[in-house]
Amino acid sequence: MNVSVKFCGIEFPNPTVLASGYLGVTGASLASCAKAGAGGATSKTLFMEERPGHPNPSVLQFPGGLINAVGLCGEGIKNARHEFEKYKELAPENPLVGSVGGKTVDEFIECAEIMASYPVDMLELNFSCPNVEGEMGRPIACDPQMTAKATKAIRKVTKKPISVKLSPNVPDIALIAKEAEENGADAITAVNTMGPGMLIDPYARRPILANKVGGVSGYALKPIALKAVYDIYNAVKIPIIATGGIVTGRDALEMLMAGGTLLGIGSSLMYNDMQAFEIILDKIREFMKEEGFEDISELVGLAHET
């Protein structure tokens, strides 16, 4: 049976892709996912400037998943070329997605231009981090017009495929996805973390995260992400990197049937470490064998046919 995926013209040996941010930006750590079975990897979001991020504690576990306010810390994009080169040296068969950030549309454009000159196969535009405010005071992906404007402008600076990463924190995510598609996006990544949310330590009598609030991922996000992917699949023709709460193989099957072509995997690594990719793939293969599917593409969007 075939589990390889052609996505925006790029060959992925299987649909699992490390989601942005979970393992940072070093080429070696991203490549370790490929060695552990991931089809590809997404870098941490990079901005023009070096960013210290939010102070610790910045990532917490709770029964529903994770809550984080890392604050998009990282070296500035100009310092990161060697990490992308390292990845390509270590994992040449596994496509690399470069995640781009910006506090303004102009910064996004500048950053995307630099990222496109690096050895990445495609770009992901992080329009949706809930902890970082854009020029409008909220993430670009929370506004259809801003999404349209930013996608259109960035489209002009690269021919590499672009995936626009959307936020679940909107009333109509399909509308935003359509704006991205109409303005030149080649794909949609859905979704980023939800919220922000909060956890409180009753003994300390205050929120636990130093930033007080953070984005929620993992188990709690899955039904929200699944519905987002389902709605987007109905609204656009471009393919989807389905992301959010894919912990088990069953979650992955649901996401494929909702309409995801690739599967972004983040918080699952918290529960399953680097085995996350193989656990998910084994289940997909087992299901395909039991149910008589030959090619993984047969699963994509299947839940829409009933």
Give the other-Cβ count within 10 Å of 23's Cβ. 20
Cα torsion angle, 34, 36, 39, 40, sign: negative
Contact 190, 166 (CB under 8 A): yes
* DSSP assigned state of 43: P
Q: Which residue, among 191, 209, 194, 218, has the nearest Cα to 59 in the 3D structure?
A: 209
Identify whether 111 is a catalytic site residue.
Answer: no
Check residue 217 for interaction with ligand FMN (CB under 6 A).
Answer: yes
The answer to the question of residue 66 lying near ligand FMN (CB under 6 A) is yes
Decide if residue 267 touches ligand FMN (CB under 6 A): yes
Nearer to ligand FMN, 262 or 293 (CB): 262
**Is residue 178 a contact point for ligand FMN (CB under 6 A)?**
no
Tell me: does residue 51 bind ligand FMN (CB under 6 A): no
Q: What are phi and psi of 212, to 5 degrees?
A: 70, -50
Least CB distance to ligand FMN at residue 157 (A): 19
Backbone angles phi, psi at 88, to 5 degrees: -65, -30
User: Among residues 14, 193, 248, 261, which is the contact residue for ligand FMN, using CB under 6 A?
Assistant: 193
- Interface pattern 117-136 for ligand FMN (x via CB under 6 A): ---------x--x-------
- The answer to whether 160 contacts ligand FMN (rule: CB under 6 A) is no
Cα–Cα distance for residue pair 158/155, rounded to 1 Å = 6
Query: 């303005």: which residue's tokens?
Result: 183
44 binds ligand FMN (CB under 6 A): yes
Is 53 within 8 Å of 74 (Cβ atoms)? Answer: yes
For the annotated catalytic residues, the residue numbers are 129
The site for ligand FMN (CB under 6 A) is made up of: 19-22, 44-45, 59, 66, 68, 70, 72, 99, 126, 129, 165, 192-193, 217-218, 221, 243-246, 264-268
